[in-house]
A and B are shown apart, each in its own frame.
Chain A
Amino acid sequence: MIPIFIASLSSLSGKNLICAGLGLKLKKDGYNIGYFKPVGFSPVFVNDILTDKDAVFLSQALEVNEPLQSISPIIFTEDVLNRLVKGETLNIRKKTIEAFDLASSGKDIMIVRGIGRLTCGTCLGFSELDFITEFDAKVIFIDKFESYIEMLDGFLYASKILKEKLLGVVFNLVPPSKLDYMKNTIRPFLKNNGIDTLGIIRKDPFLKATSIRDIMAALNGKILCCEEKADELIEHFVIGAMNLESAMRHFKKIPDKAVITGGDRSDIHVAALETSTKCLILTGDLYPNASILGRAQEMNVPVMVVSDDTATTIEKCEKLSDTIQLNNMSKIQHATEIMEKEIDFKTIYGKLGLLK
Chain B
Amino acid sequence: MAEDSRRAGTPPEERYQASQSTWDKIAESQNFKDLMATKRSFIVPAFIFFVVYYFALPVLVGYAPQFMATRVGWVNLAYLFALSQFFVAWLIAGLYVRAANNFDRLAKDIVEKAVVAKADSSQGGK
Bound pair: A and B?
Answer: no
Could you list which residues of chain B lie within 8 angstroms of chain A, going by C-beta atoms?
A: none
